[in-house]
Amino acid sequence: MGKKIAAILTDLFEDSEYTEPVKAFRDKGHDVINVGLEAGKTVKGKKEGTEVQIDKAVSDVSVQDFDALLIPGGFSPDQLRVDENAVEFTADFVKSDKPVFAICHAGQLLVTAQVLKGRRFTGYKSIEQDIKNAGAEFVDQQVVVDRNLVSSRNPGDIPAFIEESLKML
Active site residues: 104-105
Measured distance CA(30)–CA(131) in Å, rounded:
30
Residue 78 touches a second copy, criterion: CB under 8 A: yes
Nearer to a second copy, 5 or 100 (CB): 100
Query: Smallest distance from the beta carbon of 1 to a second copy, in angstroms?
Result: 37
Q: Which stretch binds a second copy (CB under 8 A): 13-21, 25-33, 52-60, 127-135?
A: 127-135
Residues 15, 21, 27, 28: what is their CA dihedral angle, to the nearest 10 degrees? -160
Q: Which stretch binds a second copy (CB under 8 A): 30-38, 93-101, 107-115, 143-151?
A: 107-115
In angstroms, how far is the first alpha carbon of the chain from the final one?
10
Residue ranges that bind a second copy, judged by CB under 8 A: 75, 78-79, 81-82, 108, 111-112, 114, 125-130, 133-135
